[in-house]
Structure 1
Amino acid sequence: MSLRSANKTARWRLLLPAVLLAAASLSAHARRSDPAEAADAPAAEQLKLPVNAKHVVVVDDATGRVLMSRDADAVVPIASLTKLLTAMVVLDAKLDPTEKLRITDDDVDTLKHSKSRVRVGTQMSRQSALEMALMESENRAASALARTFPGGESAFVKAVKAKLKALGLSRTSISEPTGLSPANTSTASEMAAITAAAARYPEIERITSSKKAKVPVDGRPRELHNTNRLVGAKGWNIRVSKTGYTEEAGRCLAMRILNGKRPITVVLLDADGSAQRLRDAALIRKSLARQAS
């Protein structure tokens, strides 16, 4: 390794948030085979809550401590949680946010045939597309962001792989920008690291923590509504949020919340329905609030 590469690697290690270390620790714990060792591990002190989601992790971002985990290292589809990575890679490229993008036939979902509020021929700025992709999980907007990435979608996918490598994540695989493909997979522990990384982007935090917004589409304002009904709800202080759903992934949620003044990352993968996903999140928040009081 060259001195320049070594210095670059060292800088990344210094910048990574504590939750990345927690993800690695959680992975190591999940791979332990000695029952006695597992009994002495911090997992024995974690929250035990009757959540519905099959894969769960809750991390105190300030300390990196894993507060709750359930099958957090299983590699599973992540649906539209993918769009957090899409947004980070687009923002990293520092592209002109005012550049006009046009939705084309290439942006139409031919895999799941999902519905869209954006018809072919619609024009919007890259900024509007970013907000639609993150807040309303608009697949055509996310597709347009990748299609217009310098070098096209293949270059976009390469940039995502480079981002994952820089974050030290080896169990996440992304093949397209929307999350419609079941080939987009990760683990709950690595999604916690991705969510924590996304929280370092003020634009992602601003967009995903807003209950609603207006953006210009085809020259006219269009109102957007956050797909996470908890954003803006009483008792919640959500700083980063992304929901996801496909038949393969189930109902998914990744978010950073404030428990008092402490940032907490919550990841729920493969819940049976929206109501169960909301109930899981509420159980976790109430338990954390009791601990803090």
Structure 2
Amino acid sequence: MIRSAGFLAWTVLLFVQVSSASAIEKAELNRTELQLASVNAAVAYADADELLYDKNADRPVPIASITKLMTALVVMKSGEPLTEWLEFRERHIPAPANAYTRIRVRSELRRADVLRIALMSSENFAAYTLARHHPGGYNAFVEAMNVQARELGMTNTTFVDPTGLSAENRSTAADLVRLVRAASEYPQIREYSTTRYFTGRFRQPRYRLAFGNTNALVHRDSWGVGVSKTGYLSEAGRCLVMLAEIDGRPVVTVLLDSLGTRSPMGDAGRIKRWLTTGAGGSVAAAAKAYERKKNAAYASSDSTSVSVN
């Protein structure tokens, strides 16, 4: 697979030769050992094509604000200046779900910072505003998201809005591994998505707003997080995708549809332990019950779709 110079440089920077004593090198990882609370998941080295672990990795499901990682990729590929001031315009279409925001309509912020708060703080009005200012407008932006998905080989992915507020934004864990790899090629996406805290300085009128990262793991130096995005909708559950250094290698983790705000963090910890020691850990009974319920719902939805078609 061809990688860009930026991605390769970052991978080389992270990659450290693992000694023969490493748990990864000593024995083949046992996939059955890894227990995750997330209903759908995928784990892969960033510099290799195959999945190290998959759990319903080819099942298309709602992805909530993980969508914003594709929004960021389209913004970067557009080549529009990051220094340009963008106006936060009143929505021309209703938001698909609750879209509370502290940002004032008609105020302005530079595109770079609009992108930053969309990624790090999952600001929905920011993601919407990026699409409104795309060449060709909002609809052209959404189309560009789908074109980019096809170019990346994300064959089970569909986008209908740039925020992730619509449950019709659907993808698979395997497809999202491809998205994380592509997004990691851009230093700006790596920086903006892992910014811990940020103060946005708006103008017309002039005011400030403080933002924090929605992924607690970016605050821990031991994780070496290089790309991060969280997401939540009732239809999607708790979601997390990230690129992090584990045992000296960049690892892509995709966790979709978890129960509770802490479940993706717990899963990330279990994956890290599995990759470094081979031990997969265990999950709570409530998470297992949630998984059974969601798998039954997915199966019912699939069978209904088949009968209709």
TM range (shorter): 0.7 to 0.9
Cα deviation, residue 44, structure 1: 8.8
From 104, 118, 123, give the equivalent of 1:119: 104
CA distance in 2, matches of 1:206, 1:261: 20
Is contact 1:56-1:269 (8 Å) kept? yes
- The 3-state SS of whatever aligns with 1:176 is coil
CA distance in 1, matches of 2:202, 2:86: 10
From 257, 270, 274, give the equivalent of 1:287: 274
Q: Partner residue of 2:246?
A: 259
From 67, 76, 80, give the equivalent of 2:61: 76
- The 3-state SS of whatever aligns with 1:231 is helix
CA distance in 2, matches of 1:108, 1:278: 34
CA distance in 2, matches of 1:243, 1:107: 26
- The 3-state SS of whatever aligns with 2:276 is helix
Is contact 2:153-2:175 (8 Å) kept? no
CA distance in 2, matches of 1:63, 1:257: 14
Q: Partner residue of 1:33?
A: none
From 244, 250, 253, give the equivalent of 2:231: 244
The amino acid across from 2:112 in the alignment is Q
From 89, 112, 118, give the equivalent of 1:104: 89
CA distance in 2, matches of 1:47, 1:264: 19
Superposed CA deviations along residues 38-92 of structure 1, whole A, max 9, x for unmatched, are: xxxxx99425322110001110122333221111110000000000110110111
Aligned length: 255
Is contact 1:173-1:185 (8 Å) kept? yes
CA distance in 1, matches of 2:114, 2:93: 14
Cα deviation, residue 290, structure 1: 2.2
* Fraction of identical pairs, as percent: 35
CA distance in 2, matches of 1:130, 1:265: 22
Is contact 1:81-1:254 (8 Å) kept? yes
CA distance in 2, matches of 1:107, 1:269: 30
Residues 1-293 of structure 1: pairs in structure 2 closer than 5 A: 14-15=2-3, 45-46=30-31, 48-106=33-91, 110-218=95-203, 219-290=206-277
Cα deviation, residue 276, structure 1: 1.3
CA RMSD of aligned residues (A): 2.2
Residues 1:242 and 1:109: Cα distance change in structure 2 (over 3 Å): farther
Give the TM-score normalised by the residue count of structure 2.
0.77
Q: Partner residue of 2:9?
A: none
Residues 1:131 and 1:138: Cα distance change in structure 2 (over 3 Å): same
Residues 1:109 and 1:228: Cα distance change in structure 2 (over 3 Å): farther
The range that moved more, 152-161 or 45-54, is: 45-54
CA distance in 1, matches of 2:108, 2:242: 30
Give the TM-score normalised by the residue count of structure 1.
0.81
Is contact 1:48-1:68 (8 Å) kept? no
Which runs of 5 or more structure 1 residues have no equivalent in the other structure?
1-12, 18-42
Cα deviation, residue 115, structure 1: 1.9
Is contact 2:193-2:228 (8 Å) kept? yes
